[in-house]
A and B are shown apart, each in its own frame.
Chain A
Amino acid sequence: MALTDTAPRVRVENLRIAFPRPDAAPLEVLSGISLDVADGEFVAVVGPSGSGKSTILRAICGLLKPAGGRVSVDGRPVTTPPPEVGFMFQKDALLPWCTVAENIRVGAELGGVARAEHAGRVSALIRLLRLDGFEDAFPKQLSGGMRQRASLGRLLAYNPSLMLMDEPFGALDYQTKIVMGRELLRIWEAERRAIIFVTHDIEEAVALADRVVVFSARPARIVADYAVDLPRPRDLRAMRGEAAFVRLTEAIWSDLALPA
Chain B
Amino acid sequence: MSDSATARAPAGNAGPAQGAAAWRTGAAQAGLILVLLALWEIAARTVLNPFWSSRPSLIAERIWRLALSGELWVHCSITLQEAGAGLLLGAAAGVPLGIALARAPRTAKVVEPVVMGLYGLPRVALAPLFILWFGIGLMSKIMMAFTMVVFIFMLNVMEGIRTIDPDHLDLMRSMRAGRFYLARKVLLPAVTPWILASFRIGVGLALIGAVVGELIGANRGLGWYVEKSGGQLDTTGVFTGLVVLMILAMLANQLIGFVERRTIRWR
Contact = CB atoms under 8 A, between A and B. Distances in A.
Interface of A: 58, 61-63, 80-81, 83, 85-87, 89, 91, 93, 95-99, 101-102, 105-107, 109-111, 133-134, 136-141, 158
Contact of A101 (B6, B171, B174, B190): B6
B264 to A, nearest CB: 7
A40 to B, nearest CB: 21
Contact of B9 (A61, A109, A138): A138
Contacts of B165: 93
B168 interface: yes
Contacts, number: 79
A137 B12 CA distance: 11
B183 to A, nearest CB: 13
A216 B181 CA distance: 39
Given A93-B171, A109-B181, A136 B8 contact: yes
Contacts of A140: 266-267
Contact of B167 (A80, A91, A106, A109): A91
B190 to A, nearest CB: 8
Nearest to B174: A87
Contacts of B266: 96-98, 138-140
A147 B168 CA distance: 15
Contacts of A93: 165, 167-168, 170-171
Interface of B: 1-3, 6-10, 165, 167-168, 170-177, 181, 185-186, 189-190, 192, 264-267
Nearest to B3: A102
A86 B175 contact: yes
Nearest to A110: B175
A46 B173 CA distance: 26
A85 B189 contact: no
Contacts of B192: 97
B182 to A, nearest CB: 10
Contacts of A91: 167
Given A83-B176, A89-B170, A110-B177, A95 B185 contact: yes
A57 to B, nearest CB: 10
Given A95-B189, A97-B264, A97-B266, A136 B175 contact: no
21 contacts: A63-B174, A81-B174, A81-B175, A83-B176, A93-B168, A93-B170, A95-B168, A95-B189, A97-B1, A97-B264, A98-B1, A98-B185, A98-B189, A99-B7, A107-B175, A110-B177, A136-B8, A137-B9, A138-B265, A140-B266, A158-B175
Contacts of A95: 168, 185-186, 189
B10 A137 contact: yes
A87 to B, nearest CB: 4
Main secondary structure of the interface of B (DSSP, over half): loop
Contacts of A80: 173, 176
A184 B172 CA distance: 23
A136 B192 CA distance: 20
A187 to B, nearest CB: 18
Main secondary structure of the interface of A (DSSP, over half): loop
Nearest to A158: B175
Nearest to A135: B6
A63 B175 contact: no
A63 B173 contact: yes
A89 B169 CA distance: 12
Given A98-B2, A110-B181, 9 more contacts: A63-B170, A89-B167, A93-B165, A93-B167, A96-B267, A101-B6, A109-B181, A111-B175, A140-B267
Contacts of B177: 110
A81 B175 CA distance: 7
B2 A102 contact: yes
Please give me the 9 A-B residue pairs with the lowest Cβ-Cβ distance, nearest first: A97-B189, A110-B175, A87-B174, A93-B167, A138-B266, A97-B266, A93-B171, A81-B174, A97-B1
B6 A136 contact: yes
Given A97-B1, A136-B9, A106 B173 contact: no
Contacts of A86: 174-175
A91 B170 CA distance: 12
B71 to A, nearest CB: 45
Contacts of B9: 136-138, 141
A128 to B, nearest CB: 20
A223 B93 CA distance: 58
Contacts of B8: 136
Nearest to A111: B175
A211 B1 CA distance: 42
Contacts of A63: 170, 173-174
A156 to B, nearest CB: 13
A247 to B, nearest CB: 37
A26 B3 CA distance: 45
A138 B8 CA distance: 9
